[in-house]
Structure 1
Amino acid sequence: MKIEIWSDVMCPFCYIGKRNFETALSQFADKDHIEVEWKSFQLDPDIPEVPNESYEQYLVKRKGLSLEQVQGMLANVTESAKQVGLEYNFDTSVMVNSRKAHQLIQFAKSKNLGDAAEERLFKAFFTEGKSIADIATLTQLGIEIGLDETEIQEAFTDDRYSHYATQDIQEARQIGVNGVPFFVVDRKYAISGAQPSVAFLETLEKSFAEWRTLNPENKLEIIEGQSCTTDGTCE
């Protein structure tokens, strides 16, 4: 059963939502039958690639709140992150455009490393204060999760990975995604926001029971005989 997750690596609730979803998935008996695909989403595609303001300054300008209100809001988010084992350092977060980060994620997905890319980029942005628009930084992060350096460089010049990100963003609009994280389960159910793990688990159990009804597991009664296996053993 497939679960698609629209996310932006600059979204603090996306990282928290990822942890809560992972907690639910670890408790789900049929987790081996779940396929997870990360989808690109940009909360603000107009942010420049070169940083020119802090996280606090950005929110003050965008939300029209006072500095004190923004600081209180970020303190609450930091505490929520701490509750699920995450460390947020908003004072060092580098506010830059996330487009190149999504190109890296799209390339990582082609190597079955989409989840690893999301995780590494979240930590780089929220904990380590790294620029997720800097190609040298992104290349190093990609190498850390097992991607080839030369292929990473090519991914930033190959239009298809940018195109894949655009496709995800357009698809999000088509299905009515206005904010992230946004989880789509078997194209039947949707979970919006960083819900508690129990909410994810309940939806997993409900949707998987329905999916299994339509996709029964075939268990064959096997009569053993002499045969050859893929490891070259014949007996």
Structure 2
Amino acid sequence: MTNIGFGIDVGGSGIKGARVNLDTGEFIDDRIKIPTPQPATPGAVAATVEEIVRLADWDGPVGITLPSVIRNQRALTAANIDPSWVDTDVNSLFHETLGHRRISVLNDADAAGLAEVSFGNPEARSGSVILLTFGTGIGSAFLMDGELFPNTELGHLLVDGVEAEHLASSAVKEREDLRYGQWARERVSPVLREFERLFWPSLFIVGGGISRKAHKWVPKLECSTRVVPAELRNRAGIVGAAMAVDRDLTP
């Protein structure tokens, strides 16, 4: 019998959810996506999450990712969502709209890391690996022999006086109309070299929607550490969220 879960990935531009086969990491059916409400306040996002669950006709446990540091089920930061998220009790918030079911809330890049270890690139399971998700911002997950160190925020590290995600996110590439090679060499490479200088990883894994075009930019990166594309790409957040609630992970 197939083990099925449900995950929702809250991003700066879209909120996405799907049923997940927890044995394979594949979606059971099509992903549901609704634009992130603006402003992305806790109440507005919770209402959108409720709508996705309703459209999916799902009545089981729900895992939810947020672009926030999550500790003891409280949002401590708010990256690319409304500042009113800071210090929100996220578990209580989503129980108010989703009712009495099991809910896990975790950082979006951490969810991607969990998914990549289980269902993605096998190299994520050994050594000191930094997974980076490029989207509206830059998310990060630290993995040591496949184990997660949660709530790293490398996207906010200063590189040449600028936050890394303000320099090198895929949103910056689109906004400034940068070519893939230019973005890789002039924006992403300096960020990776700074991460190398500070953390000395054995491997970078790059994910997010732009990893679908990895062949256009990963070979153009200029850093010492090997860089490989994530295999789950932008499925990873949803899959990791479904895994988290299935495993009763509540950071």
- If the length of structure 2 is used for normalisation, what is the TM-score? 0.25
Which structure has the greater CA radius of gyration?
A: 1
The one of the two structures with greater contact order (alpha-carbon pairs below 8 A, sep at least 6) is: 1
Question: Which structure's residues are more often strand, by fraction?
Answer: 2
- If the length of structure 1 is used for normalisation, what is the TM-score? 0.26
Question: Which structure's residues are more often helix, by fraction?
Answer: 1
